[in-house]
Amino acid sequence: MLSLEKRSRQVVGKVAAQAAARELLPSGLWSHDDIRDNFYYASYLYAAAEDPEIRVRFDRDEARATAIGVFGRVLELQDRRAGSGTYGHWPLELGDDPQSAEPDPLPIELMGSLMLYFVERCGDSLPPELQASFEAALQAVCDSRFYDRPLDKYDHHEAKHTAAKLLFGAYYDDAELLEDGRRSLKALLAHVEARGLHEYGSQPWFWHWVQAFTCVRLLLSDADITDDLKRMLDLLWSERSLHYIGGAWAGPHARQRSEDTPKDAGVAFDYLQYGDFRLPPQLKRAEYAGFLFYEAPEASRIAAMDRLVPVEVKKKILKPQPDGPDRELHSYTYLTDSYAVGGMWERSEEFDNEQHRWDVTLPLSYELGSAANQAYFIHPAPGQAEGDLRHSSPFEAILPDRGAVLALYPVPEGQDPSIVGVLPKGEWIREERALFGQAGGAYLAVYLRHGYEAEESDDRVTVRSAGPGGAVVIEASGIEEAESLDAEDLEGFADLMRGRAPDFGADGRSVAYRSLHSRRLELALGADGEPQAKIDGTAAAFGDYVK
């Protein structure tokens, strides 16, 4: 395994190479999709050009000049209009004419703090005129007071506001602002320690928590503040480690982007922390991972990378509700060295319905290449773009237990009841209502209540199953697990699993299955439509199942 220093330089060099290979648009930027990407790419390109320890295949002087030019264009797009309600802000989506794009409240939250970090670390080597531009931009960020909001939702936005108070309070020697940040940090830390993260398993939001507080930890020296920052970062990385499997993020997610499913592609932060998988040729959403690093507690890191002994992670999540008391959600994840199975027992409304309620997750591996490493089914929500299987309807009940998941899809009459699934590429045996496959170091058995059509593409197998009352059962097994049951290859695994087909209820409202762990799993919908689960004949109420 490479050292941390080498992994960091590897990430910086790889993202810099991606930036150097991109053509600048007539605007002087690489992208009009998200202004932050221009700042991130310029940071990597400049850092790689300045660091002789990083091997590059581009001209360093040209790269340095390109980065400086992009920095200048980004800074020019900041709103500096006196009296403007968005003073100090940047636009997010730049459109056809970046100069006329409207300021947005999002970029300043994280990019403002990371700009301060960049200036503190690299400012002395910048041309004087660019140094002055950065200083003017940072002053405008501070003067915007975007962070001047009380804690309310205890979410990633408020984490970034808290970090900005601390950073800019220290940078401008503003004792009152620094103290406000100190109070916010203590309150946010107490809340998270007592109640956990209600933005569960959400990579984009989680990494914003990590970046914001790592940035502060690396720049501030106040002992009281840094102690609280250590506690916060230890908590965040311990949470990450609970759901880590070979570069992938197992378990349910409150939010997922296209980089998160069906392939775990946003891996830069994990690579620096754990380093136990191969870095892919292209890095997506690396943001500032190559510059910000905080080493997780050793016990957490070791536990995350050692899954020889399977573990069950059961968590109760208190989800704030807009009009009423918090709702209890119950998360379950089972992790081995070759696969993980996880799910959220209850469904909740999440941001843009970009949630991922359950899946089987495989570690990232060379054998899988760029292919999907997740297996799951959904009943697609209306209006979902073709091929974007991130938005499920509310018509689903699940029972996750160890290597298996049982799922029912009670779609009301008048709506298309078809369910769609994603399976990783590998070797598959297809039968009338079942598929048996091997991908990486795991076998998968997939049982469907109705027939199906399967289509293989470059990175996945897509399965569509029509018919009312759809239902599916998936069980994963490690190769060594299967060998202990006398299944020596995929055909042997298929023979083993053919005789274990689940009992689907005639109306599609129930399913029973005996898993490879010899546990009798039952899931049914009551007269009121609420799911009822049993494990070995004992009712498994959601609130009792996960303490």
- pLDDT per residue over 96-116, tens digit each? 999 999 999 999 999 999 999
Mean pLDDT, rounded, for 239-261: 96
Reported as a single tens digit per residue, the pLDDT across 275-315 is 999 998 899 999 999 999 999 999 999 999 999 999 999 99
Q: The tokens of 214 are what?
A: 């790592």
Residue closest to 438 by CA, chosen among 402, 400, 483, 491: 491
Strand partners, 90: 104
Bond prior to 262 in cis (omega within 30° of 0): yes
**Residue 136's closest CA among 185, 80, 64?**
80
Which strand (E) or helix (H) includes residue 183?
helix 175-195
Q: How confident is the model at residue 547 (pLDDT cuts 50, 70, 90)?
A: very low
Closest CA relative to residue 220, chosen from 254, 170, 285: 170
Q: Cα Rg for the chain, rounded, in angstroms?
A: 25
Q: At what angle do helices 107-122 and 128-144 cross, to 10 degrees?
A: 140
State the Cα–Cα distance between residues 209 and 540, nearest whole angstrom.
34
Distance between CA atoms of 118 and 17, rounded to whole angstroms?
19
Determine the angle formed by the axes of helices 156-171 and 203-219, rounding to 10 degrees.
Answer: 20
Confidence of residue 366 (pLDDT cuts 50, 70, 90): low
For residue 233, which amino acid is it?
L
> CB-based burial of residue 543 (10 Å sphere; 0-12 exposed, 13-18 middle, 19+ buried)?
exposed
pLDDT (tens digit, 9 = 90+) per residue, 189-234? 999 999 999 999 999 999 999 999 999 999 999 999 999 999 999 9
Phi-psi region of 180 (alpha: psi -120 to 50; beta: other; left: phi over 0): alpha
Q: Which 3 state secondary structure label does DSSP give 154? A: coil
Q: What is the pLDDT of residue 539?
A: 87
- Token representation of residue 286: 């690396």
- Kindly report which listed range (72-86, 256-270, 379-393) carries the lowest average pLDDT score: 379-393
pLDDT at site 543: 54
- The label of the residue with tokens 């593409």 reads 457
CA atoms within 13 A on the CB side of 445: 29
Model pLDDT, residue 324: 86
Segment 528-547 shows an average pLDDT of 79
How confident is the model at residue 39, as a pLDDT?
98
> For residues 47 and 55, what is the distance between their CA atoms, to the nearest angstrom?
12
For residues 48 and 51, give the distance between their C-alpha atoms in angstroms, rounded to a whole number: 5
Segment holding 484, helix H or strand E: helix 479-484
The tokens describing 31, both together, are: 């992208």
Give residue 501's identity as a one-letter amino acid code: A
Give 367-417 pLDDT, tens digit per residue.
Answer: 656 789 999 999 999 887 778 899 999 999 999 999 999 999 999 999 999
pTM for this structure?
A: 0.96
Residues 480-533: pLDDT tens digits? 999 999 999 999 999 999 999 999 999 999 999 999 999 999 999 999 999 999
Alpha helix positions (H), 196-278: 203-219, 223-242, 268-273
Per-residue pLDDT reduced to its tens digit, 30-52: 999 999 999 999 999 999 999 99
pLDDT score of 86: 97
Which three-class secondary structure state does DSSP give residue 124? helix
Residues whose CB is less than 8 angstroms from the CB of residue 247 and which lie 6 or more positions away in sequence, other chains included: 264, 267, 270, 271, 274, 276, 277, 363, 364
End-to-end CA distance of the chain: 37
Give CA–CA dist 120/170, Å, rounded.
12
CA 362/CA 339 separation, integer angstroms: 5
**Contact between 99 and 91 (Cβ < 8 Å):** no
Which of 206, 271, 191 lies closest to 238, judged by CA?
Answer: 206
The rounded percent of the chain whose pLDDT value lies above 70 is 98
- Residue 163: which of 105, 116, 204, 195 has the closest Cα? 116
Q: Two tokens at 313?
A: 């992670």
The tens digit of pLDDT for each residue in 147-189 reads 999 999 999 999 999 999 999 999 999 999 999 999 999 999 9
CB 338 within 8 A of CB 441: yes
What's the pLDDT score for residue 369? 64
3-state SS assignment for residue 161 = helix
Looking at residue 388, its pLDDT comes to 87
Q: Which of 257, 310, 249, 309 is nearest to 274 (CA)?
A: 249
In 3D space, the residue among 54, 95, 91, 48 whose CA is nearest the CA of residue 67 turns out to be 48
